[in-house]
Structure 1
Amino acid sequence: MVSEGSIQLASLLESLIGRDPLIASSIAGAFVALTTSSGAAMILILRREKLSLHFSMAFAAGIMLVASFTSLILPAIEASSFPTVSLGIISGFGAILIVERLIPHEHPILGYEGPESARRLLRKAWLIAIAILIHNFPEGIAVGVSVAYSIPLGIATAIAIGIQDIPEGFAVALPVSSTGGKKLGFLIGVLSGVSELLMAIIGTLVFTELKELLPIGMGFAGGAMLFITLKEVIPEVYGENYSTLKATLGLLIGFMVMLYLDSAL
């Protein structure tokens, strides 16, 4: 669960922004979009991109793994029941699986996924960028659903996701910059952050109106994030030609940072 200290900090922020969930999700989503854009801006100054990419994605995986449970799945189970939340988790897994099968994209290590007929329509760099964009949608939904459940919890979730979105923003910008230039890579990174903002607002709008489905929605967002972390991100960071020790260290640091946010803030 999110710690008492984190909730108190988020409650202070809530008192500053009011109790309107839509306003809260807009601010939380804007924060996530800003951190993603900040990560994308790193492409303009860093040179050793490949080394930073693997380590930063491992860091993001550690945070996502913990946040899936502490910000979404466990609070949903407490508010509802395990069978109900399980339905949401399975739905989240299934939804991302279907999206990945239908939308052409490519992972640096796992390779191409999507319809074979679309494989030649886009350059590899764009296919990789699309893969990262698919990863960002569940994170935006997670922020929006958390806000619908509790504004303090939503803000705390946005803080956690925002931290790990810094390396993810870099991961979006990197493949595009390799063929389209650093400025274009930065622009695509910014657009990926904007997509998270939009999904956060949509998530709040939907589950503020359909509160009876909120536990399922939280399970859905948690399940989608787990799918992305376990099936996509972790296999990528343990890919070829990269130190498994460094990847594990990045994963551990991200894991511990999220646990710190969960227990000590």
Structure 2
Amino acid sequence: MLSSVTSYLASIDPILAAFYASLFTWILTASGAALVFFFRGMNRTLLDGALGFTGGVMVAASFWSLLAPGIEMSPGEGFVKVFPAVIGFASGALFIFGLDKVLPHLHINFKYSEKEGLESTWHRTTLLVLAITLHNIPEGLAVGVLFGGIAADMPGASIGGAVALALGIGIQNFPEGLAVSMPLRRQGVSRFKCWWYGQLSAAVEPIAAVAGALAVTFFTPILPYALAFAAGAMIFVVIEEVVPETQLESNTDIATLGFVLGFIVMMTLDVGLG
């Protein structure tokens, strides 16, 4: 099944492949959010473990799927070879840092008074969705950049690696959708609205994926920078948002084990398929 999907994506336009792959990650987010129709709540320990898993996938993807290929395809030797990765990684982290300071948002299980970004009177529900949306931008961008590298026929960019990244991000998007819908349900929001907002948080991924693929297709020399940019953005999200959310209760060990499992899963997918 997986080999058939990989073969199909390899046979079509890489921009379209990036769109399809990011649609898959969006669908899994919607599927996770849909659990709100069947359950009344979510155990906090399970949520922290799931968020830890998400962080592990993102960190592993940042290295195995983005930084390592980016460095491999960079010209030169020694410090010259790593220069694009340094610039791209720092730029990606600073990009999300800037969005974090500007975009009004509220992290899961934080009080309304702890909202971040510019001052806003937006509803708590909107702020929660925006927090996860901010989280999903680098994920969609990462998928698009890898497929764009395939279109540019760059060494180190493989269809297997791109599929592995999309699969890993999709897997961790499932609990992510649930992490949006369940807290909203506890606030008394209707089940349909909980699902709607949960899936909406990942709607940005296909947009970011297509934008990333188009960018590196038309400006091939930026690919090593773009890969590192996506990695820097994802690492910033993990350290600034995902990890702190797992430390609010007494489930740090569960969250850490979830992180380790997520890292192993993503590393295995990337090496096995890439």
Asked whether the two chains share a fold, i.e. TM above 0.5, the reply is yes
Give SS of 2:115's match: strand
Unaligned runs of 5+ in 2: 75-80, 151-158
Aligned-partner Cα distance in 2 for 1:196–1:16: 21
Q: Cα 1:179–1:125, aligned 2, differ >3 Å: closer, same or farther?
A: farther
Aligned-partner Cα distance in 1 for 2:12–2:220: 16
Q: CA deviation at 1:176?
A: 3.2
Q: Which residue of 2 aligns with 1:6?
A: none
2:266 to 247, 258, 264: 258
1:32 equivalenced with 2:3 (yes/no): no
Q: Cα 1:22–1:176, aligned 2, differ >3 Å: closer, same or farther?
A: same
1:23 to 9, 16, 21: 16
Over aligned residue pairs, what C-alpha RMSD do you find? 1.9
CA distances 1:108-165 after superposition (whole Å, capped 9, x unpaired): 34932112x31xx123333222111100111000100011113332222101111111
Aligned-partner Cα distance in 1 for 2:106–2:13: 39
Q: CA deviation at 1:50?
A: 4.5
> Are the counterparts in 2 of residues 129 and 176 from structure 1 also a CA contact under 8 Å?
no
Q: CA deviation at 1:247?
A: 1.6
Q: Which residue of 2 aligns with 1:99?
A: 99
Name the stretch that deviates more: 173-182 or 203-212.
173-182
Aligned length: 252
1:113 equivalenced with 2:119 (yes/no): no
Aligned-partner Cα distance in 2 for 1:91–1:162: 25
Aligned identity (percent) is: 37
When the two structures are superposed, what TM-score results if normalisation uses the length of structure 2?
Answer: 0.86
Give SS of 1:96's match: helix
Q: Which residue of 2 aligns with 1:235?
A: 244
> Are the counterparts in 2 of residues 129 and 173 from structure 1 also a CA contact under 8 Å?
no
Q: CA deviation at 1:203?
A: 1.1
> Are the counterparts in 2 of residues 126 and 176 from structure 1 also a CA contact under 8 Å?
no
> Are the counterparts in 1 of residues 21 and 166 from structure 2 also a CA contact under 8 Å?
yes
Aligned-partner Cα distance in 2 for 1:36–1:63: 15
1:209 to 218, 240, 245: 218
1:194 to 178, 198, 203: 203
Name the stretch that deviates more: 25-34 or 71-80.
25-34
Q: CA deviation at 1:14?
A: 4.1
Aligned-partner Cα distance in 2 for 1:243–1:141: 31
Name the stretch that deviates more: 68-77 or 191-200.
191-200
When the two structures are superposed, what TM-score results if normalisation uses the length of structure 1?
Answer: 0.88
Q: Which residue of 2 aligns with 1:76?
A: 70
